[in-house]
Structure 1
Amino acid sequence: MNIAQTLFCERVHLAEGWASDVSIGIDDDGIIVGIQPDAACGADATRLAGPVVPALQNLHSHAFQRAMAGLAEQAGSTDDSFWTWRETMYGLVNRMSPDDVEVVATKLYSELLKGGFGHVVEFHYFHHAISDLGRSDGLEMSVRILRSAETAGIGLTHLPVFYAHAGFGGTAPNAGQRPFIHGVDSFLTLLDQLEPECRSAGARLGLAIHSLRAATPDEMRAVLSAERTAGPIHIHVAEQEREVEDCLAWSGRRPVSYLLDEFPVDDRWCAIHATHMTTEETARLARSGAVAGLCPATEANLGDGIFPATDFVGHGGRLGIGTDSHVATSVAEELRLLEYGQRLRDRRRNRVVSGPGASVGRTLLDASLAGGAQAAGLAVSGLRVGARADLVVLDGANPFIAAAKDDQILDRWIFALGNEAVRDVMVRGKFVVEQGRHHFEETIDRNFERVLRTLAA
């Protein structure tokens, strides 16, 4: 057993639960190769400065949208919705170059790390800069995402997105959607080009269908049957009520029902949002083995609605969290909003919980870790032998953390502290955030400010 470094944790949330005085051995590839509870801190071990928890996977990201966070909050009318927000997003896309996308994605990924994420699933549909339309094959934009993840030091599952239409039934794309568009052949070619690029960058490759409205059933079947990747498959579904109404008008079925009826949805799939489901659809999606990809801060920001998490989990459903448009970049904020949405709807407390006496924070964290890993295509997750050494050191000097024990630590972090509690973050055995700062924070921030000023000009 090759141990390149050893960590010593006074208290750590392992896959089996909380343990004390734990020695964690990590090899040269950043994989955990040994875990020894009730150990002594060896002379060559690095003693961590607070309770240790696994870093989570962010299962849904549109990295470029971090540049517009806070810029769509000026009321246009009393009918503002996702659909009016989308026009602001189109305007941003029209001004962004590949260089801009790389800078913004690098900034975002550094923030996600500081928020407690160790891996991100990039749902990537910004394929072509406006200036490159007609010449771009989409590869450069994806390579910029790979480079951003490498620079920031975050794990990456890259999902190029098939996007061909503006609405159900193959409606022609509108002008704002031109940077997103691929035909089936060009999309499959992009996947072929990306396979060696992702392998070289240490990233996982999957694919996504933007939504049922952005691809015809025949196009979806052609993309899926080509089997260019064995990675995860993601799709936006039933995010807005208008989407449900339009799907009913087109097919006579609601979006989740249509998806489950027409496609072999299984544990490779992740249904993003799935906000508007009937009781029957909720149970069917849970039974399929697919992960529900929830982005509570974005869903609240857009006024989408509240996912039926209590019913979904009650049927054995698997869920994970993402940050989507990145109005928030924090594990704690997303988990807190997920729980608070259920409380506001039900007018009751402690909704997403494994049973009486159980910790809500522990339930949310464990469920999101398992679902996030599945949606990211990671075979092993959590702090266990064989998993990547992706971990968060919470601030042991913070009074809330210092005075808490075991699951109380998670509840304090998620419901009382947020990012304030995140001290250090390790990904693949390397610290990328220490004492609350990313290693390249000054350069990343300087470049990000420059791009924001350019986009605002």
Structure 2
Amino acid sequence: MNTSSTHTLFAQQALLPEGWVANVRLHWDAQGNFSQIETAATPTAYEPQYGYVSPGMTNLHSHAFQRAMAGMTEIAGEGPDSFWTWRDLMYRYALAISPEQMQAIAAQLYSECLRHGYTSICEFHYVHRAPEGVFYADIAETSKQVIAAANSTGMGISMLPVLYSYADFNHQPLRDDQRRFNTNVEQILQIIQALENQRNAQVEVGVAPHSLRAASTEQIAELVAAMPQGRQIHIHIAEQMREVNACIAATGKRPVELLFDTQSVDERWCLVHATHLNQHEVANMAASKSVAGICTSTEGNLGDGFFELPDYIAAQGRFGIGTDSHASQSVVEEIRWLEYGQRLKAQGRNIASVKGQRRVADYLWQQCLQGGAQASGRKLGQLKIEHRADFIIFDDQHPNLQNLDVADVLSSVVFTGNDNLIRDVFVGGQQVVAAGRHRDQAQINANYVACMRQLRQLK
């Protein structure tokens, strides 16, 4: 059945949009897109059979360079620690990293994300300038290095060059340690234009105004109007109460309220964090069909707070998950703590469920597949014709997945133990992880170790 232009895989159980379906043969073409999803199939004598196959997940929010400082900020200071004290160390790393080091760090991160179930990533990239504060000869140099890391590891990527003009509301000038981030609308559009020839089936290019404190509402409107039609727009919003209070003091409005009053928010938008919402903002976000970008591991690590998930689900809001600062690279941990955080807050159980889908893991998994795909601007997240052949294969020989009813598989994957149950990973039809190991893991690890030998002195 395999030919030079068509490839197949037989799944005893495949997670289709409607749920688990038995006896499915996946077909994909030479371009890495699904060409046929054959149900009620019969395995042939010569083809291997795989137990449980799911679409790969999109990691909808990443700052790849921050992987280098994971674990380095877990030491209490003399006074209270917060997001804002963490940010100071992050700036020190951002000032020191070279473009080549960015590629080595991103490759390490992406290989880890692939092994843990992410097959595409939205890279919220804002380190554009050289350490002294000038642009490289190629204004898109650092973006291209990160895209090269994605290409080399097999990770699909949506590159989001970040507009970052101010240190705070009221057009406060950037601090000196923010000099590598400094961009205006014209410069971001130049970066995007310089990346046009990078776009292909594995690479998309959108844009990201950093936040309402780092970009004015006028800049954001100008940038969005100048973007090619249909490109994705991501923004940090309402992550910390200090930000919310500063926005109110400067404008008289809360951040999400201000965004909706000044921009036409629609399906192209991903509102990252949105941790501190009132009921009116929850309703507006859900009605806009934008995606809430929830990054539970980072939000927990930085003490951001809890997203208003039950109310947002009740309003039929769309959402996905991201690893942001990369305290974790695991799909399972992100989804698990999305639910566990709500349980702690509500002092209840099985919070993320709806009528018709009472299995929390299944509901969250499918919603995050859909929300992440939308945020990426690419045809992902479904085992479906014309979508990318990005999929993961669970280890059906692991004790946690043996002798299970298929309806319990995702519950076991998400809520049982800490072994990585993702055995094999395919992106665009190409196998990038086999038996839990990335195809280039040894070299990627060696490059990262060499890079970090130089950077660890910044601790």
Establish whether TM, by shorter chain, passes 0.5.
yes
Corresponding residue for residue 150 of structure 1:
151
Corresponding residue for residue 8 of structure 1:
10
Corresponding residue for residue 263 of structure 1:
263
Paired residues for 1:110-259 under 5 Å: 110-131=111-132, 133=134, 135=136, 138-199=139-200, 202-228=202-228, 230-259=230-259
Does residue 47 of structure 2 align to residue 45 of structure 1? yes
Which whole-Å CA distance do the structure 2 matches of 1:453 and 1:272 have between them? 32
The code of the aligned residue for 1:93 comes to A
Q: Is the 8 A contact 2:372 2:381 kept in 1?
A: no
Deviations 1:177-213 (A, max 9, x none): 11111122222111111112234x8411110100000
Which whole-Å CA distance do the structure 2 matches of 1:390 and 1:373 have between them? 11
% same residue: 40
Equivalent position SS for 1:93: helix
Which whole-Å CA distance do the structure 2 matches of 1:417 and 1:393 have between them? 18
Which whole-Å CA distance do the structure 2 matches of 1:43 and 1:180 have between them? 57
Which whole-Å CA distance do the structure 1 matches of 2:11 and 2:167 have between them? 52
Q: Is the 8 A contact 2:23 2:42 kept in 1?
A: yes
Which whole-Å CA distance do the structure 2 matches of 1:367 and 1:277 have between them? 20
Paired residues for 1:276-295 under 5 Å: 276-295=276-295
Corresponding residue for residue 272 of structure 1:
272
Deviations 1:380-410 (A, max 9, x none): 5311122111111000111111122223110
The 1:242/1:148 distance shift into structure 2, 3 A limit, reads same
Q: Is the 8 A contact 1:128 1:136 kept in 2?
A: no
Equivalent position SS for 1:185: helix
Shift of 1:229: 5.4
Equivalent position SS for 1:420: coil
Shift of 1:44: 5.5
Shift of 1:3: 5.3
Does residue 27 of structure 2 align to residue 25 of structure 1? yes
Corresponding residue for residue 309 of structure 2:
309
Equivalent position SS for 1:211: coil
Corresponding residue for residue 377 of structure 1:
377
- Superposed CA RMSD in Å reads 1.6
The code of the aligned residue for 1:91 comes to R
Which whole-Å CA distance do the structure 1 matches of 2:127 and 2:46 have between them? 46
Corresponding residue for residue 110 of structure 2:
109
Equivalent position SS for 2:432: strand
Q: Is the 8 A contact 1:204 1:377 kept in 2?
A: yes
Paired residues for 1:271-420 under 5 Å: 271-355=271-355, 358-379=358-379, 381-418=381-418, 420=420
Shift of 1:127: 0.8
The code of the aligned residue for 2:393 comes to V
Deviations 1:424-450 (A, max 9, x none): 011110110000000000000011111
Between stretches 236-245 and 189-198, larger displacement belongs to 189-198
Which whole-Å CA distance do the structure 2 matches of 1:29 and 1:379 have between them? 13
Q: Is the 8 A contact 2:113 2:330 kept in 1?
A: yes
Which whole-Å CA distance do the structure 2 matches of 1:78 and 1:361 have between them? 39
Equivalent position SS for 2:96: coil
Q: Is the 8 A contact 2:357 2:363 kept in 1?
A: no
Which whole-Å CA distance do the structure 1 matches of 2:416 and 2:288 have between them? 35
The code of the aligned residue for 2:317 comes to G
Which whole-Å CA distance do the structure 2 matches of 1:126 and 1:403 have between them? 49
The 1:267/1:441 distance shift into structure 2, 3 A limit, reads same
Deviations 1:148-197 (A, max 9, x none): 00011011111111111100111100011111111222221111111122
Q: Is the 8 A contact 2:132 2:180 kept in 1?
A: no
Q: Is the 8 A contact 1:163 1:210 kept in 2?
A: yes
User: Which 5+ residue runs of structure 2 have no aligned equivalent?
Assistant: none
Which whole-Å CA distance do the structure 1 matches of 2:440 and 2:76 have between them? 36
Which whole-Å CA distance do the structure 1 matches of 2:175 and 2:435 have between them? 46
Q: Is the 8 A contact 1:109 1:149 kept in 2?
A: yes
The code of the aligned residue for 2:152 comes to T
Q: Is the 8 A contact 1:5 1:26 kept in 2?
A: yes
Which whole-Å CA distance do the structure 1 matches of 2:246 and 2:449 have between them? 40
Alignment size in residue pairs: 455
Which whole-Å CA distance do the structure 1 matches of 2:191 and 2:66 have between them? 22
Q: Is the 8 A contact 2:379 2:386 kept in 1?
A: no
Shift of 1:224: 1.4
Deviations 1:327-364 (A, max 9, x none): 00011000001001110110000001123772100000
Q: Is the 8 A contact 1:168 1:213 kept in 2?
A: yes
Corresponding residue for residue 92 of structure 1:
93
The code of the aligned residue for 2:454 comes to T
Q: Is the 8 A contact 1:114 1:419 kept in 2?
A: no
The code of the aligned residue for 1:442 comes to A
Which whole-Å CA distance do the structure 1 matches of 2:344 and 2:204 have between them? 37
Which whole-Å CA distance do the structure 2 matches of 1:358 and 1:412 have between them? 15
The code of the aligned residue for 1:55 comes to G
The 1:84/1:204 distance shift into structure 2, 3 A limit, reads same
Equivalent position SS for 1:25: strand
The 1:272/1:106 distance shift into structure 2, 3 A limit, reads same
Deviations 1:293-335 (A, max 9, x none): 0000000000000000110010010000000000000110000
Equivalent position SS for 2:87: helix
Q: Is the 8 A contact 1:6 1:46 kept in 2?
A: no
Q: TM-score scaled by structure 2?
A: 0.96
